[in-house]
Chains A and B, each alone.
Chain A
Amino acid sequence: MSDTPTRDEQDRPNGPTGPDQTLPEGVSADGTPTEAPVRRYTDEQKYAVFNKEFMPHIDSMYNFAFRLTMDEDDANDLVQDTYLKAFRFISSFEQGTNAKAWLFRILKNSFINDYRKKSKEPAKVDYQDVETTYNSEDAETEHTIDLRAESVSDLIGDEVATALNSLPVDFRTVIILCDIEGFTYEEMAKILDIPIGTVRSRLHRARNLLKEKLRDYAASMGYREQNEE
């Protein structure tokens, strides 16, 4: 998996708004503004942009934060930090561009930099280990999961959430962004700072892992039903 060193630039089209205005580099890692073009908004304009373009996404942002941290207090802090950061760096956001992706990227980076380190939840599986395992030569042939749609259709929301929560956070993240928030691969590539090819392969692996979890639930449900008979 080429998460870090090799970045396939061809795989990262600039998108509708160009490379550096939708998702400016500046707000990402340490909150230091960089070369992103700076727009001069009056105070009044700043509040207008904030209220009109940022606030409508706050429920999605909170849901994302909660699914990442799995804790309401942490989700509160993360969303608040993200919105304050977004306001501070509002001059690197261009009105009318993809505010939701811009905000999600800030939240994701804040999570990595500020929350993941002090996470209450011990890391169950190290992401690198998982990705290495899934990259092994026979991983591709091994991984179509034996599971039927009918076996999972009766699962309830909490069971699905538990299965999702049990995935390593990077796998959980791509599923949330794609299946729950409906971002395109291109938007996800920008939010996560990875090439589109990596988005696709990570999603594929994440879904295989999720299916394994759901299969276990489905199996245990079948077992319960048998016992009840």
Chain B
Amino acid sequence: MQTSLPSSSPGSMKEHCDHQVDCLKMIQVILDGQATEQQIERLRNNLHTCQPCIQMYNLEKEIKQLLNGKMEKKCCPEQLIASIKARISQFS
């Protein structure tokens, strides 16, 4: 999703979120690319007014990036590929 974070102006920001759990769920759905336009619009509004939502959004995004970008992706050993192909070729 293309939500750019606003530059925070502390004066107009909510310091406390009354719907934190629901907001968190919505943030996750949005970052997973599964949200409706309406949900995305709601988040966009929150990200201009609610400090806890901004923090949750940043954290969820960061963790997603950690999982996808920093963790080693194991590749299938060539030997296993060869072994599977050899076994398959005996099937017919």
Is A144 located at the chain interface by the 8 A CB criterion?
A: yes
Q: Which residues of A contact B72 (CB under 8 A)?
A: 157-158, 161
Q: Which listed residue (B24, B25, B59, B70) contacts A148, Cβ 8 A?
A: B59
Q: Give Cα distance in the complex from A160 to B63, angstroms.
A: 9
List residues of chain B with CB within 8 A of the CB of A48. none
Cα-based distance from A83 to B56 in the complex (angstroms) = 40
Do residues B88 and A47 form an inter-chain contact, with CB atoms below 8 A?
yes
User: How many residues of chain A have a CB within 8 Å of chain B?
Assistant: 49
In chain A, what residue has the closest Cβ to B80?
A76
Interface residues of chain B: helix, strand, loop or mixed (majority): helix
Cα–Cα distance between A23 and B7 once the two chains are bound (Å): 46
**Residues of chain B lying within 8 A (CB to CB) of residue A50:** 88
User: Which A residues have a C-beta under 8 Å from some C-beta of B?
Assistant: 43, 46-47, 50, 55, 58-59, 61-63, 66-67, 75-76, 79-80, 83-84, 87-88, 140-141, 143-144, 147-149, 152-153, 155-158, 160-161, 164, 175, 178-180, 184-185, 200, 203-204, 207, 210-211, 214
Given contacts A152-B62, A179-B63, 13 further A-B contacts (CB under 8 A): A43-B92, A58-B81, A61-B76, A83-B88, A144-B20, A147-B59, A161-B72, A164-B67, A179-B68, A180-B67, A204-B25, A207-B60, A214-B63
